[in-house]
Structure 1
Amino acid sequence: MDSVLIVDDEPWVAKGLNVLIDWESLGYTVIGEAYDGIDAMEAIEKQKPDVVISDIRMPGLNGIELLESIRLQGLQTKVILVSGFAEFDYAQKALQLGAFDYLLKQVDRNTLTETLLRLKMELEKRHIGKREPELHLEDLFELLEPDNNIKISNFMINREMEFEFPHYRFISCLYLHSSASDAVIEQATQNGIQWIRFRTGQNKTSYLVNYDEQKSPADLLDFISGSLDSAHYMGISGIGLYSTPIGKLYQESDIALSSSSFLQAQRMTEYKSTDHIAELSKLVLKIELAIKGYKRDIIRQGLNELSEECEKRSMLIDQISAVYNQIVLFVYKYYGNSDFAQGLEYLTYSQIVRSCESVRQLFERIGVIFAQQSDEEMLLSKETVKKIIDKIDSSYTEDISLSMLSRQFNVSLGYLSALIKKETGTNYTDYVVAMRLNLAKELLSDESLSIQDIVERVGYKDYFHFNKLFKKHFGITPSKHRKI
């Protein structure tokens, strides 16, 4: 149902319009009446109706001024103006300002019905135009999930596509600015390469490339150097076949891209499944024994060595994440009941990219909890604790990291992590994510906001990351939640 606000300075006229036709049979619901332009504008700002039917001659704001205010605020509300004066200049002014139509009093039932039916067609086009990209993005989100076993062959058959070459790769690109293309999926052929382009983020585009690795490996290099030269960072998956799950291949490219952007050592990274973790087992064991014995100097030394090894080996971000989480596991294994350990959290590779600036900073999260806390920290006042929590509560839609908060309030990262978990019952990341997602859930009831609008309003940029978090938190995607 599209919502309607009726505005007239004569209440009996407004009520007459309210009962003149069967609104619901036409797909509308009247959400209220207003009896002057100022009250009407307040109601419009608060309720954001799809349609306003307003008299022109009113005290406060007249109908033309009301229409101007709606347009100045960038609202998408459609306006039908009504007047008892059959004057051409009123109608001309109204249409110039974008009024949908101009009706004369006394409003005829058939005329109003015909106008609303025409308007309904326009509103339906707007709703479809707004939601169709979101539905496509949701389908794409499901398709590219790493645990989705849909094969490239199934995807191609379902979209009635035919690719002639035996090999596939995903190439994910990160740009400094948003992609100029709004298309979710596009297909093209170029110089011996067939590809499908997916818009996988605000500044991110991914390509499923089909080529012949054995006969024409240079075609892929030509495509990268020619068509993707404007990408700031690039991640290339391993080689896939017709039977390879499409989600697996995409995740490989995403891991490679995240590795490039996080390590910043090279612009382009290719995914390789080298097991660095086994090669680092002696160093990891050394750190475990130091943690068990609470030998702070050896812990710090071992973590520094581990950081250097990760960087020197140009380890992919998913393996860095695995090593980090293994060390976190040791901390919980030996000190799980201690307050100082409660600030530590397991991190996925995408969380690491979003919350840390370097490998060294990542492992410092572990090292700082073994540092001796200062007397000032141990005696942190309740007022300061409240200020910290209030700061988080008022700024959770902004890009504020835990390290920024630790610098602002002059406390160590480990102590701050433990403090937040003690006060809120959860770690910093989960606390912020929960608040953002609860706000998003509320905003989804506002049909005037697209899901991309909501993503940005609650503090995210990447639709896919938001979608994944929302589904994990509520068990349903945001688009499906909106339909409930």
Structure 2
Amino acid sequence: MYKVFLADDEVWITVGLKKLIQRSGLPFYVMGEAANGVTSLEEVRTKRPDILITDIRMPGLSGLELLEKINEEGLGTKVVLISGYAEFEYAREGLRQGAFDYLLKPIEQGKLNEVLQGLLQKIQAERGEQTEAEPDEEFNPTIIRRVVKEIQETYLSDVSLGDLAEKYGISISHLSRLLKEELGLSFSEYLASRRMQKAKELLKDETLSVESIAESVGYHDYFYFTRVFKKITGITPSKYRKTL
């Protein structure tokens, strides 16, 4: 298990993040938290977490200042920044300074899982660790078809890879691999693709706002929805609507 430290002066963000990390099913656990940058730096120095997830705006030291101190002191902790859309430029600056990634508020389970999966791969590669091997077993192909069917029926809800793995008694890494073999896409890629296809259909109805469409296809963060839509289609939802 890998250690995560949370730094945020908003308690509800910390509580929510702890639940999302637990739900991810990935080998991470929250080993500490702090509500200001100064305490966070002291804790990182003494406890040496593998990952620090920190808000950009923090009392004492900001998230960017924390990142700078960690880099200067060579502490080796990977930093993920949390920002609101208003601080998006600061998040980009953080990436230039060596932050691993950033999370936009409100934090989505899917996006967090992607970031954690990337961190897991990077940490294991740096340490020369091998991903835990799956035991040899005969896997019933009807189960993966059931999983795919469930995803197709529930893709507009808060379906997660961790929940599906637990429900069908498969490890997350094994299920992820099986889904990629079956679908030709990763779970998050397939989910986003289905949701964006639905969003395109809804954008034809000009009585619906882009914000309400984002909610309808499973995204509570309008800006994150716009980013995913543009990544998949090449244009923003508003521009797509104008082309119809």
The AA in structure 2 aligned to 1:374 is P
Contact 1:260/1:266, CA 8 A, preserved across alignment: no
Structure 1: 5+ residue stretches without partners? 1-172, 177-232, 236-257, 281-308, 325-347
* Higher radius of gyration, 1 or 2: 1
Aligned to 1:67: none
Letter in 2 for 1:260: T
Counterpart residue identity of residue 479, structure 1: S
- For 1:310, give the aligned amino acid: T
Query: CA, structure 1 residues 357+393, in 2 after alignment: closer, same or farther (shift >3 Å)?
Result: closer
Who is 2:112 aligned against? 355
Mapped pair 1:481 → 2:240 = yes
Q: Deviations over 1:333-370 (max 9, x none)?
A: xxxxxxxxxxxxxxx53388833499699538976972
Counterpart of 1:374 in structure 2 is 135
Residue 261 (structure 1) shift: 5.8
| Contact 2:110-2:160 within 8 A present in 1 as well | no
Q: For residue 269 of structure 1, report the CA deviation from its aligned partner.
A: 4.0
Residue 370 of structure 1 aligns with an amino acid whose one-letter code is T
How far apart, CA to CA, are the structure 2 residues paired with 1:395 and 1:267?
Answer: 43
Partners of 1:414 and 1:450 lie apart in 2 by 37
Establish whether residue 471 from structure 1 lines up as the match of residue 238 from structure 2: no
Question: Counterpart in 2 of 1:77?
Answer: none
Contact 2:202 2:213 in 1 (8 A): yes
Query: Which residue in the other structure is 1:113 paired with?
Result: none
Q: Which has the higher contact order (CA 8 A, sep 6+)?
A: 2
Q: Which residue of 2 aligns with 1:431?
A: 190
SS in 2 for 1:482: helix
- Change beyond 3 A, Cα 1:267–1:439: farther
Shift in CA distance, 417/448, structure 1 to aligned 2, threshold 3 Å: same
CA distance in 2, matches of 1:267, 1:383: 55
Which AA in structure 2 matches 1:381? N
Distance 1:234 1:419, change over 3 A: farther
1:7-18 alignment, distance < 5 Å: none
Equivalent in the alignment of 2:64: 271
- Mapped to 1, the partners of 2:146 and 2:72 lie a distance apart of 41
What letter is aligned with 1:349?
A: Y
Q: Distance in 2 between matches of 1:452 and 1:445?
A: 14
Structural mapping, 1:343-422, within 5 Å: 348-350=101-103, 354-356=111-113, 363=120, 370-376=131-137, 379-422=138-181
Cα offsets for 1:234-268 (capped at 9, x unmatched)? 99xxxxxxxxxxxxxxxxxxxxxx94369xx9898
Displacement of 1:419 after TM fit?
1.0
SS in 1 for 2:181: helix
The corresponding residue for 1:310 is 77
Aligned residues of 2:80 and 2:102 also touching (Cα < 8 A): no
- Identity between Structure 1 and Structure 2 (%): 30
Q: What's the counterpart of residue 152 of structure 1?
A: none
Cα pair 1:366 1:414 within 8 Å, conserved: no
2:31 alignment counterpart: none
How far 1:175 moved relative to its partner? 9.8
CA contact (8 A) 1:365 1:414 kept: no
The answer to whether the 8 A contact 2:157-2:218 is kept is: yes
- Deviations along 1:352-403, one digit per CA (max 9) or x if unpaired, are 8833499699538976972221234xx1111101011112111111122222
Q: Which amino acid aligns with 2:54?
A: S
**Corresponding residue for 1:260?**
54
Q: Residue 28 of structure 2 aligns with which residue? A: none
Letter in 1 for 2:175: L
Query: Aligned equivalents of 2:165 and 2:220: distance in 1?
Result: 24
Hey, what's the Cα distance between the residues in 2 that align with 1:266 and 1:358? 25
Q: Which amino acid aligns with 1:420?
A: L
SS in 2 for 1:380: coil
Partner Cα separation in structure 2 for residue 458 and residue 469 of structure 1: 12
Counterpart for residue 446 of structure 1:
205
DSSP-derived class of the 1:355 partner = helix
Distance 1:387 1:261, change over 3 A: farther
Q: Is the 8 A contact 2:54 2:63 kept in 1?
A: no
Q: Runs of 5+ in structure 2 lacking a partner?
A: 1-8, 13-34, 38-51, 82-93
* Cα distance in 1, alignment partners of residues 60 and 153 from structure 2: 37
Q: Is the 8 A contact 2:176 2:186 kept in 1?
A: yes
CA contact (8 A) 1:259 1:316 kept: yes
Aligned 8 A contact 1:452 1:463 in 2: yes
TM-score of the aligned structures, taking structure 1 as reference length: 0.30
> Whole-Å Cα distance in 2 between the matches of residues 461 and 234 of structure 1?
27
Are the aligned partners of 2:230 and 2:236 in contact in 1 as well (CA < 8 Å)? Answer: yes
Q: 1:413 to 1:478 in 2, by over 3 A?
A: same
| CA distance, structure 2, for counterparts of residue 476 and residue 356 of structure 1 | 25
In structure 2, the partner of 1:283 is none
Q: Distance in 1 between matches of 2:186 and 2:143?
A: 18
Query: TM-score, normalised to structure 2's length?
Result: 0.57
**Matched AA of 2:71:** H
